[in-house]
Amino acid sequence: MSTALASGFRDAAHDAQKVFRVLMDALARPTTVQPLALDLIPPAPLTPELASIALALADQDAPLWLDETLGSEPAVAQWLGFHTGAPVVSDPAEAAFALVRDPRALPPLDAFALGTEEFPDRSTTVVLAVESLEGGTALRVEGPGLPRPGTLSPTPLPDEFIDTLRDNRTLFPRGVDFIFAAPGALAALPRSSRLTEEA
């Protein structure tokens, strides 16, 4: 006998709106830590924060890609499929949202959809589950959304992530947007953010 499927948002309209506003604030104000409190209990190893973002934004028009850690647990794809209706794709370049449970195993930048010069919006949003938004390598950036340079230090991060960010900015307006999802909080580095010189 199979176990019952864990529930999704209790209040679809208002929960999705809350998650979206937190994400919107995070992207509009890069590096700022935005609290996200929702009592979602998705199947492990999917974290409540990754799950909230998927439930809020993924659907039949916005496919998901799961990293190996998430993909190796069938209950994750099953839960996401049931609650969002989003296809789970095997090629990250076809995904609107890439859910990355183990940031150290992040695929190279060009594995994702980077958009085109004419449609830079046709790109993947990469959501990284991190343990904390503090204590890691300091990513010091400036650009839209920041009155002065801001610093975000998520951990863990992939090796050479600073190079990845620099490459990503070089592609502008193409590129991906990074969202960092720690327990109870989100932060973001959209493609518009530029690493400052001393970083």
Partner 1 sequence: MSETGYNFAYLDEGTKRMIRRAILKGIAIPGYQVPFASREMPMPYGWGTGGVQVTAAILGADDVLKVIDQGSDDTTNAVSIRKFFERTAGVETTTATTQATIIQTRHRIPETPLTEDQVLVFQVPIPEPLRFLEPRETETRRLHALADYGLMHVKLYEDIARHGHIATTYAYPVEVDGRYVMDPSPTPKFDNPKMDDCPALQLFGAGREKRIYAVPPYTKVTSLDFEDHPFAVQTFKQPCALCDAHDVYLDEIVLDDRGGRMFVCSDTDHCETRRGEGHRGAMLGTAPEAITAGGNSRV
Binding footprint of partner 1 on the chain (CB under 8 A): 12-14, 16-18, 20-21, 23-24, 27-29, 56-59, 61-62, 96, 116-121, 123, 125, 143-147, 172-173, 177, 190-192
The distance of closest approach from Cβ of residue 132 to partner 1 in the complex, given in angstroms and rounded to an integer, is 24
CA torsion sign for 131, 132, 136, 140 is positive
Q: What are the φ and ψ backbone dihedral angles of 35, each rounded to 5 degrees? A: -65, 140
The distance of closest approach from Cβ of residue 2 to partner 1 in the complex, given in angstroms and rounded to an integer, is 27
The distance of closest approach from Cβ of residue 135 to partner 1 in the complex, given in angstroms and rounded to an integer, is 26
The distance of closest approach from Cβ of residue 32 to partner 1 in the complex, given in angstroms and rounded to an integer, is 10
The Cα 74–Cα 61 span in angstroms is 22
Closest to partner 1 by CB, 69 vs 196, is 196
Residues in Cβ contact with 177 at an 8 Å cutoff, skipping those fewer than 6 apart: 27, 123, 125, 126, 188, 189, 190, 191
- Going from the C-alpha of 21 to that of each of 12, 100, 120, 145, 193, the distances in angstroms are 14, 21, 22, 15, 20
H or E stretch covering 26: helix 12-28
Closest to partner 1 by CB, 1 vs 148, is 148
Per DSSP, 40 falls in state: -
The distance of closest approach from Cβ of residue 24 to partner 1 in the complex, given in angstroms and rounded to an integer, is 7
Closest to partner 1 by CB, 101 vs 191, is 191
Closest to partner 1 by CB, 72 vs 151, is 151
Beta bridge partners of 141: 150, 195
Closest to partner 1 by CB, 28 vs 44, is 28
